């Protein structure tokens, strides 16, 4: 028995959404595509079937009799296909990617972005292994690691830069209202927040901007940069932080960059992938690069 040519599934999906909304514009919004893309998919389906599915009117579309029939018959079928695929995904064993990453980068950069990866790849579980040790001294095995240095990588890893970075000064708006920082010398009246794992940052920044002799009111040392940044938000002092770790604090107004042009370039952040990595790890590595480049 000869099987009839099967219509393109993507065009059927676009048709169903457009038919449900009776609008190409609202369908485009739901599908995150352009109005023109919806129109082309529907036109291609009409050409394939040899019938008109919509009557195009001014500022709206209406289903034809053939369109109503197709909508009524394939809607439940597409729902059944979706349910079957979902059932298989639930039964399929979860694949994991083990990510070795420093605590502050985890809290400030990676975790806020992870929902996007999980939504795109629901069958892959990101497992975070936070550590301040070099990757080659990790007591646990991992598939991918993120670090700021080229030192201490296992030889079996492919290491590449994926995120450029700079050091920048930040403080709470309330603190700067009391003691403004309009020039670098103004920092002498402030408490400088220091990260114990990056003690050299302030001295290197001061040398970079030509203020190596600047003496602050005092220094307050804290364990990790994400703790330093929280202390800055709470007005305990002025912090020096990589731009990559700012998160949304500046955007939300919790922190301000009083000297935005006085930046010190940092070594880029690298991601290392095991050369025998599986597909899920390669997907995660590609996602990391796209996130760093702002590609959605």
Task: Give the burial string for 228-248 (b: 16+ CB within 10 Å, else e).
Answer: bbbbbbeebbbbbbbbbbbbe
pLDDT score recorded for residue 79: 78
pLDDT over 70, % of the chain: 94
Task: Identify the CA nearest to 18 among candidates 58, 63, 48.
Answer: 63
Mean predicted lDDT score pLDDT of the chain? 88
Give the residue-averaged pLDDT of 25-46: 87
| Of 95-99, 184-188, 212-216, minimum mean pLDDT range | 212-216
pLDDT score recorded for residue 89: 56
| Of 67-76, 120-129, 209-218, 226-235, minimum mean pLDDT range | 209-218
| Sheet strands (E) in 131-290 | 144-147, 157-163, 166-170, 191-195, 218-222, 238-242, 264-265, 269-274
pLDDT score recorded for residue 131: 92
166-265: same fold as 95-164+268-292? yes
Per-residue model confidence as pLDDT tens digits over 220-243: 999 889 999 999 999 999 999 999
Domain 9-91 has CATH 1.10.10.10: yes
Per-residue model confidence as pLDDT tens digits over 199-223: 899 999 988 988 888 888 889 999 8
Rounded to an integer, what distance in angstroms lies between the CA atom of residue 163 and that of residue 227? 22
The three-state (H, E, C) secondary structure of 87-141, written as one string: HHHHHCCCEEEEEEECHHHHHHHHHHHHHHHHHHCCCEEEEEEECCCCHHHCCCC
Rounded to an integer, what distance in angstroms lies between the CA atom of residue 186 and that of residue 230? 22
Query: HSE of 11 in the Cβ direction (CA atoms, 13 Å)?
Result: 16
Does 265 have pLDDT greater than 50? yes
Rounded to an integer, what distance in angstroms lies between the CA atom of residue 242 and that of residue 168? 6
Domain ranges of the chain: 9-91, 95-164+268-292, 166-265
Is this structure's pTM higher than 0.85? no
Per-residue model confidence as pLDDT tens digits over 159-179: 999 999 999 999 999 999 999
Domain 95-164+268-292 has CATH 2.40.50.40: no
User: Which CATH superfamily groups domain 166-265?
Assistant: Periplasmic binding protein-like II (3.40.190.10)
pLDDT score recorded for residue 95: 85
Does 81 have pLDDT greater than 80? no
pLDDT score recorded for residue 145: 97
């Amino acid at each position: 028995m000869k099987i009839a040519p099967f219509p393109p599934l993507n065009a059927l999906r676009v048709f169903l959404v457009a038919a449900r909304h009776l609008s190409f514009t609202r369908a485009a919004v739901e599908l995150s595509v352009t109005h023109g893309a919806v129109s082309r998919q529907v036109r291609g389906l009409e050409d394939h079937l040899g019938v008109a599915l919509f009557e195009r009117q001014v500022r709206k579309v209406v289903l034809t009799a053939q369109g109503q029939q197709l909508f009524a018959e394939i809607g439940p079928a597409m729902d059944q296909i979706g349910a079957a695929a979902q059932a298989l995904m639930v039964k399929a064993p979860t694949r994991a990617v083990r990510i070795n990453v420093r605590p502050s980068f985890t809290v400030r950069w990676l975790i806020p972005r992870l929902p996007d990866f999980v939504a795109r790849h629901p069958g892959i579980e990101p497992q975070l292994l936070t550590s301040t040790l070099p990757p080659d001294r990790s007591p646990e095995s991992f598939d991918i690691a993120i670090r700021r240095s080229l030192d201490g990588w296992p030889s079996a890893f492919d290491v590449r830069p994926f995120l450029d970075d700079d050091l920048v000064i930040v403080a709470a708006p309330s603190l700067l209202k009391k003691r403004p920082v309009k020039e670098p010398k103004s920092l002498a009246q402030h408490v400088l927040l220091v990260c114990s794992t990056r003690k050299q940052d302030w001295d290197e920044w001061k040398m970079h901007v030509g203020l190596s002799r600047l003496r602050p009111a005092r220094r307050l040392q804290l364990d990790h940069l994400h703790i330093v940044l929280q202390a800055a938000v709470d007005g305990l002092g002025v912090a020096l932080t990589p731009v990559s770790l700012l998160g949304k604090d500046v955007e939300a107004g919790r922190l301000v960059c009083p000297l935005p042009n006085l930046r010190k370039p940092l070594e880029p952040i690298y991601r290392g992938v095991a050369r025998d990595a599986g597909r899920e790890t390669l997907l995660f590595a590609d996602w990391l690069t796209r996130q760093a480049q702002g590609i959605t």
